[in-house]
Amino acid sequence: MQNETEKSTEKTAIKIQAKNVGVSYSGMVALKDVQIDITERKVTALIGPSGCGKTTFLRTMNRMNDIIEGCEVTGEILLDGEDIYDTQVDPVVLRRRVGMVFQKPNPFPKSIFDNVAYGPKIHGLADKKDELEYIVEKSLKRAGLFDEVKDRLNAPGTSLSGGQQQRLCIARAIAVSPEVILMDEPCSALDPIATARIEELIDEIKERYTIVMVTHSMQQAARVSQQTAFFHLGELVEQGETETIFTNPRDPRTEAYVTGRIG
Amino acid sequence: MYNPMYKSEKKPDNTASKLSTGSLPGVAKRHRSERMFKATGLIAIAGGLLFLLFVLVSIGISGIGAFKKTYINLPVPSTIMQQVLDSGIDDADYYSLNRKALRERFPDISGRRDKRALYRLVSAIAEFEMKDQVVELAPTTNAPITIKFTASDDVDMYIKGTVDVAESGAAGRLNAKQVDLVNTLKQAGAIEVGFNWGFFTNSDSRDPELAGIKGAFMGSLFTLLVCLVLSFVVGVMSAIYLEEFARKNKFTSFIEVNINNLAAVPSIVYGLLGLAIFLGFFGMPRSASLVGGLTLALMTLPTIIIASRISLQSVPLSIREAAYGLGATQVQMVFHHVFPLALPGMLTGTIIGMARALGETAPLLMIGMVAFIADAPSNIMDPATTLPVQVYLWADSPERAFMEKTSGAILVLIATLIAFNLVAVVLRKKFEKRW
Ligand SMILES: Nc1ncnc2c1ncn2[C@@H]1O[C@H](COP(=O)(O)OP(=O)(O)O)[C@@H](O)[C@H]1O
Ligand SMILES: [Mg+2]
């Protein structure tokens, strides 16, 4: 567990810092020269037109790109000042600290309980059964799902609705107490009501976690994020306070995008 | 099924609504070709079923006799019982006594040839049957008893109607005299047809009336057990390694191509391989089910590897990513998530491979599992034969009475295969039911 007492001086600390990050898929450049600072315990939104490299960049931050054949990452990504692409770094340890929620809800075909308990189990976070139950309950509560599923924790995770499944995936990610949660368009497969529910949830949990969220909806970025980064054609065009990006963008491409002229 | 198209086609076009088939050119033709396709499919399926039915019925008709057996009930008069008591129940000379009982039953038979013909009405183990039944009764007085003898195969076939009576009065290998005797017995109610338990409890024999499939069945069981354990473990492990862990390069794709080729190699080649490796190089015992199982495992491996790889490939990437995203290692990801999801498909592939191995004959001929085995094997090192090889042996036998045994063994083989497939369905359901 990280220290949950908040110190006001650390509020603007930088959690992740990307330096000259470039990504190529089998030689095809998808992302080049990305410089970005991700602020701790804030929601950073990554926006941009389809295919501009948002997902690609998000996946560099917990080395999910490692499992894609032919994917090559250059530059540095520092998590608390340590380069995560250093040869010393174990992706298993990294991914415990930097969790991920995917575009399409992907619960394991196991029970709701087992879905949430899986992470703590493999990382040995609970020695006894009641400890595990406590973690599962706490995670489900944080993900705002507990009341809906408390009577059927043994039902398959896949039997839930799409929005519930996505909150289950968030609970599953929370259960290993990560410091950062990466979310790749977590609402793109959901209806407006489920989307609102997830947005609320993100707003609640941002006190505890640093959240980086890809979204194709500018309204969503405006609603839930404090920082926004705009990507275009494999480049990071502009980043800053969400309000500044939407009301007073510096780059004409950003302006064109947020006003709906490209995208 | 409700099909609105058929309704509207009956209406003439001019009165039809704007939505009828005829209102759009070419639609009728499209429906026609659809019906043609469906009809072709139905005909194909019906044809296939017809052939299957034909095979089952014809084998069933010729094989049903294997499950029935003819007995002759023969009275043993007091004089003979006295002799039994005199020399002791355990030590009596049942060989001569059973012949004597036959002679007493037909007192007017004389001459060596006719006597020998009489003796041939019962099976070769008549003296043992007599001894067993007397020992069981444990008589204390010389009261007459009745002994139930297994009829010889020739009598059996005559009673079952497998052989016709020729003009000379002979039937098959029974001469006219013997047919007469059997008819006399039949009229006296001394002939009895019962269920042939011996077909399941005996092993192979030179005498068709005594031959059973127990030995071959046990041999098949041991062989398949060795084959299953080996090919499932090795096959699934190789599939998992190749699919999930091995680096994709020229070498692994070379291996993949070769595995696919191996699946198409004629099975007898595996027999030669088994002969060279297991018998020639390792010096394992000939005819043992261990060697048969190993050889069949070689043959089954490619099938299992291919089926397992396909079912591994069908596990969605999203599940793998979910596991990785939580910090699972690759081994954890594979064995906690991918493997359980791929297992039903792997089992199906395994059962298909096993079914093929169960019916395989050619490779087993190469490693000597074709020998005459009179004792059921009790472990995997004993000489053994298998059901299909037994079928092959019996089919090749000159004795006509083995014909129905052949069909009977085929029926047992088919029943075993059906049981196999049922197990496969149940296993699939069991592992898939949860989700
Ligand atoms: N696994 C991959 N292999 C090859 N190219 C990829 C792969 N994933 C993404 N790309 C390419 O990288 C570029 C950026 O994709 P992505 O990061 O998915 O965009 P976004 O999430 O912003 O829509 C696209 O041109 C896409 O075709
Ligand atoms: Mg994307």
Whether A4 maps to a domain, the answer reads no
Check if B324 contacts A (Cβ < 8 Å): yes
The one-letter amino acid at B89: I
CA of residue A55 to ligand 1 center, whole Å? 7
The encoded tokens of residue A229 equal 């980064």
CA contacts within 13 A on the Cβ side of B146: 9
Task: Say if residue A3's pLDDT is above 80.
Answer: no
pLDDT of A11 over the 60 cut = no
What is the CA(A29)–ligand 1 centre distance, in A? 10
Residue of A nearest to B248 (CA): A69
pTM of the prediction? 0.83
Cβ-defined contact of B332 to A122 (cutoff 8 Å): yes
Q: Which residue is listed with tokens 């029970």?
A: A111
| A98 within a domain of the structure (yes/no) | yes
Six-digit token string for B364: 């087993």
* Within a domain: A244: yes
Q: How many CB pairs under 8 A join A and B?
A: 64
Whether B335 contacts chain A with CB within 8 A: no
What pLDDT is recorded for position A4?
A: 45
Which atom of ligand 1 has the smallest separation from the CA of A184?
Answer: 21
Which residues of chain B are within 8 Å of residue A93 when distances are taken between CB atoms? 327
Indicate yes or no: CB of A104 within 8 angstroms of CB of B435: no
The total number of residues shown for chain A amounts to 263
pLDDT at A146: 93
Q: Are B145 and B137 in contact (CB under 8 A)?
A: yes
Q: What is the pLDDT of residue B13?
A: 52
* Distance, CA of A101 to CA of A115 (rounded, Å): 13
Asked if B320 has any chain A CB less than 8 Å from its own CB, the reply is yes
Helices marked H in B67-152: 78-87, 94-105, 112-119, 126-137
Q: pLDDT band for position A6 (50/70/90)? A: very low
DSSP character for B29?
Answer: H
Q: How, if at all, do strands A43-47 and A14-25 pair?
A: unpaired
Testing ligand 1's pocket by substitution, the residue of A25, A26, A46, A71 carrying the most ligand atoms inside 8 A of its CB is A25
- The answer to whether the CB atoms of B434 and A96 lie below 8 A apart is no
d(CA A227, CA B349): 53
- Test the B interface: residue of A96, A108, A188 with most B CBs within 10 Å: A108
The DSSP H or E segment spanning B341 is helix B339-358
The pairing of beta strand B68-76 with beta strand B145-150 = antiparallel
CATH class as words, domain B214-431: mainly alpha
CATH number at residue A172: 3.40.50.300
Yes or no, beta carbons of B325 and A107 under 8 Å apart: no
Q: Which residues line ligand 1 (CB under 6 A)?
A: A 25, 30, 48, 50-56, 68
Please tell me the total count of domains within chain A. 1
| Buried-exposed string B351-360: b where 16+ CB fall within 10 A, e elsewhere | bbbbbebbbb
Chain A CB within 8 Å of residue B326 CB: yes
Cross-chain CB nearest to A95 (options B325, B337, B434): B325
Q: Where does chain B hold its CATH 1.10.3720.10 domain(s)?
A: 214-431
CB of A158 within 8 Å of a chain B CB? The answer is yes
Average pLDDT over residues A177-194: 92
Half-sphere exposure (Cβ direction) of A248: Cα atoms closer than 13 Å:
4
Give the pLDDT of residue A57.
96
When the pLDDT of each residue in chain A is averaged and rounded to a whole number, the result is 91
Residue A2 falls within a domain, yes or no? no
Beta pairing class for A43-47 and A210-214: parallel
Q: If you measure CA to CA, which chain A residue comes closest to B316?
A: A106
Between strands A235-241 and A82-83, the pairing is unpaired
Tell if the CB–CB gap between A102 and B321 is shorter than 8 Å. yes
- For chain B, first and last CA: distance in Å? 30
Q: Which chain B positions have a beta carbon within 8 Å of A123's beta carbon?
A: 327
Could B326 and A176 be called an inter-chain contact, meaning their C-beta atoms sit closer than 8 Å?
A: yes
Are the Cβ atoms of A69 and B248 closer than 8 angstroms? yes
Contact status of A118 with chain B (Cβ, < 8 Å): yes
**Residue A3 falls within a domain, yes or no?**
no
% pLDDT > 70, chain A: 95
State whether residue B327 sits within 8 Å of chain A by CB: yes
Smallest Cα–Cα separation from B325: which of A84, A100, A59? A100
For the stretch B3-19, what's the b/e string if a residue is b when 16 or more beta carbons lie within 10 angstroms of its beta carbon?
eeeeebbeeeeeeeeee
Residue in the structure block whose two tokens are 């001086």: A9
Interface probe with A: pick from B245, B326, B435, most Cβ of A within 10 Å: B326
Q: Residue A46 CA: which ligand 1 atom is closest?
A: 22
Tens digit of each residue's pLDDT, chain B (435 residues): 455 555 545 555 556 678 888 888 888 899 999 999 999 999 999 999 999 999 999 999 888 888 888 999 888 888 888 888 888 888 888 888 888 888 888 888 888 888 888 888 888 888 898 888 888 888 888 888 888 899 988 888 888 888 888 888 787 888 888 888 888 888 888 888 889 888 898 888 888 888 899 999 999 999 999 999 999 999 999 999 999 999 888 999 999 999 999 988 999 999 999 999 999 999 888 889 999 999 999 999 999 999 999 999 999 999 999 999 999 999 999 999 999 999 988 988 998 899 999 999 999 998 888 888 888 888 898 889 999 999 999 998 888 888 889 999 999 999 998 988 888 888 888 877 554
**pLDDT for A5:** 46
Main-chain dihedrals φ then ψ at residue B85, nearest 5 degrees: -65, -35
Domain of A100 in residue numbering reads as 14-258
ipTM of predicted complex: 0.92
User: Could you tell me if A32 lies within 8 Å of chain B, comparing CB atoms?
Assistant: no
Q: Which atom of ligand 1 is nearest to the CA of A53?
A: 17
Does some domain include residue A103? yes
User: In this complex, which of A69, A92, A169 lies closest to B327 when CB atoms are compared?
Assistant: A92
Q: At A2, give phi and psi (nearest 5°).
A: -85, 165
Average pLDDT on A25-37 reads: 94
Of A67, A109, A118, the CB nearest to B326: A118
pLDDT for A10: 46
Judge contact between A207 and A3, C-beta under 8 A: no
CB A34 within 8 A of CB A18: yes
Inter-chain residue contact A92 with B323, CB threshold 8 Å: no
Expressed in angstroms and rounded, the spacing between residue A54 Cα and the centre of ligand 1 is 8
User: Is A31 inside a domain boundary?
Assistant: yes
Domain annotation covers residue A65: yes
Chain B residues in contact with A95 (beta carbon < 8 A): 324-327
Q: Does A99 touch chain B (CB under 8 A)?
A: yes
Q: How far apart are CA B394 and CA B153, in angstroms?
A: 14
Is residue B337 less than 8 Å (CB to CB) from chain A? yes
Tell me how many helices (H) and strands (E) chain A has. Answer: 10, 10
Atom of ligand 1 nearest to the CA of A68: 1
Q: Which pLDDT band holds residue A7 (cuts at 50, 70, 90)? A: very low
Q: Which of A63, A116, A118 is the best residue to mutate to test the B interface, defined by the most B CB atoms within 10 Å of its own CB?
A: A118
Q: Between A67, A104, A119, which is nearest B327 by CB?
A: A119
Tell me, what's the pLDDT at A225? 95
Q: Is A156 on the interface with B (CB under 8 A)?
A: yes
Q: Read out DSSP for B219-277?
A: HHHHHHHHHHHHHHHHHHHHHHIIIIIS--SHHHHHHHHHHHHHTTS-HHHHHHHHIII
| Rounded (10°) CA dihedral A117, A122, A127, A131 | -20
Q: From atom 7 of ligand 1, which residue's Cα is the shortest distance away?
A: A25
Chain A: nearest CA to B434, how far in angstroms? 8
Alpha-carbon gap, residue B374 to B338, rounded angstroms: 48
What distance in angstroms lies between residue B350's CA and the mean position of ligand 1's atoms?
38
Chain A residues touching residue B326 (CB < 8 angstroms): 95-96, 99, 118-119, 122, 172-173, 176
